[in-house]
Amino acid sequence: MQYGENIRLALQGLVDHKFRSFLTMLGIIFGVASVITMLSIGEGAKREAIAKYQDLGVNNIIIREKTLSDEELEEV
C-alpha cells in the first residue's frame, strides 16, 4: 500500500461512518478543551495566591522602636 491509498481508505472510512467520526471528534474536542480549562484555572489560582502573599508583605521586614527599661538594658 502506498500513502495515497492509505489516505483514500481513511477518508472513505470517515465518510462511511459519519456519526462515529462526529462522536470521536466531539470527544477529542471536549477532552482537549477540558485539559486547557483545568490548566488555566490552576495557573490563575497560582497567580492569585502569589499576588495575595505579595500583598501581605512577606518579603518585607518591619522594625519598630521600643523603649527599654534599665533592667532590660542590663540583660542586653
pLDDT digits (tens, 9 = 90+) for 39-57: 999 999 999 998 887 887 7
Instruction: Give dist(CA 25, CA 30) in Å, integer.
Output: 9
Q: Which residues contact 69 (CB under 8 A, 6 or more apart)?
A: none
Question: Does 62 or 64 have the greater pLDDT score?
Answer: 64
Q: pTM, whole model, 2 decimals?
A: 0.59
The pLDDT of residue 6 is above 90: yes
pLDDT digits (tens, 9 = 90+) for 8-26: 999 999 999 999 999 999 9
pLDDT digits (tens, 9 = 90+) for 53-62: 788 776 677 7
Cell 490552576 sits on residue = 42
Query: Could you tell me if 21 and 14 are in contact, meaning their C-beta atoms sit under 8 angstroms apart?
Result: yes
